[in-house]
Amino acid sequence: MAQILVVDDEIGIRELLSEILADEGHQVLLAENAGAARRVRGAQRPDLVLLDIWMPDTDGITLLKEWAGNGQLTMPVVMMSGHGTIETAVEATRIGALDYLEKPIALQRLLATVKRALRNQDAPVARRLSLAALGRSAALAELKKRLAQLAQVGAPLMLRGERGMQSEIFVRHLLSAGAPFVTGIEALNDPPSEVLSRAAGGILFVSDLAGLSRNEQKNLEFLLVRAEKHKARVVSFSLVEPQRLVSEHDFDADLATRLSELVIALPAVREFAEEVPDIAALELAQLVEGRVCPPRRFSTAALNALRHHSWPGNLAQLAAVVKNLALTALDEEVQLSDVERVLSAHSAPMAAGELPLDQPYREARDAFEKLYFEYQLSRENGSMSKVADRTGLERTHLYRKLKALGLPVGRREEG
């Protein structure tokens, strides 16, 4: 028996679905609008939600985005509408809905959809950060538009970015609902026919081009040639540009050219710093939902501190810091002092091995300055006046230097 939440503003629909589902042995929870649905979801974890799109207080798409954004989309959701559009259905599935039912709902279609949604309820729900829940910043809003534009293109795509960007989050935004996603270098060592069969109609993602051996490169080239026939798209990620892949990582030049037919640069976290509080809150909510930690929430001061950190380790570092806070905070509300304690532990002095000694002087100087100011910003929690005092730079010069290095300027409230 499953617990199913039915959200619809029409009492007749609620009663009809409740009767049908109860006859099938399910426990049915009812909500007449989004507000009631929020209360039920906050108190319980239903196994499935049937969610109407058009409701008077808050529409179903907005509620779906809200659940996706706060980490509560841990159950399958099936959207319902009597006058929906294909665009609405596509948007819902991109956000995280499993399926779409058109009213009036045929009995057999309803039962088949519910059965499919509940089929894998014993498996753990995949909990990952989704780009669909973000987009407040100009950097991510523009990136989402470009990815949406390229989602229907079958050509190979290379993503470029810094270490720790968790590139799979961005690749999955290209994926159609229900399409397969095959990832990992391990797949390049499997029989090519099996890999193509698994990736057919979806994406084959190679997350670290620089780490591929020559044999793995040959296998990737073999797959690339046959991917179009299987309607599988090859997407890759590289920390370095294609030319450096060839010159520094023993990468096949022709393969690098083919993989970089389309290239998109991923912005570093410092370029969408205004998203950090939302990302941190989402990561924490997912840990709570997964029972990794007791109930936790961030104070406003704690979120502001995370917002002003420079995050040289990008999303991977942010996720590690949030998990550390979730497991080591002593109170339900994570305080500023907790963030300062954990960030201090994550901001160890730069090791000699991290110095860019094998680069030309100008590049090595810029790389060192970037590491130096990232460390100072982290140490002083983004306070520009404190960084200026510690580094001996006049404030205006410091602003110009940080902008030239592509680093975020910190807090400006100090006089």
One-letter identity of residue 265: A
- For residue 159, the cross-strand partners are 237, 264
Spans of the chain below 50 pLDDT: 122-126, 350, 352-353, 412-415
* Cα 367 to Cα 139: distance, rounded to the nearest angstrom: 23
Which residue blocks in 238-352 are alpha helix, DSSP H? 242-248, 253-259, 276-289, 300-308, 314-328, 336-346
Q: Which fold has domain 133-265?
A: Rossmann fold (3.40.50)
* Cα 190 to Cα 368: distance, rounded to the nearest angstrom: 41
pLDDT at 67: 86
Q: Which fold has domain 352-404?
A: Arc Repressor Mutant, subunit A (1.10.10)
Structure-block tokens of residue 270 = 């410092």
**269-346 domain in CATH 3.30.565.10?**
no
pLDDT at 413: 45
The CA-CA-CA angle for residues 184, 189, 195, to 5°, reads 70
CA atoms within 13 A on the CB side of 135: 18
CATH among 3.40.50.2300, 3.30.390.10, 1.10.645.10, 3.40.640.10 for 3-118: 3.40.50.2300
pLDDT per residue as tens digits for the range 245-293: 999 899 999 999 999 999 999 999 999 999 999 999 989 988 887 778 8
pLDDT at 415: 40
Asked whether 378 and 309 are in contact (CB, 8 A), the reply is yes
pLDDT at 49: 96
Domain spans of the chain, in order of start: 3-118, 133-265, 269-346, 352-404
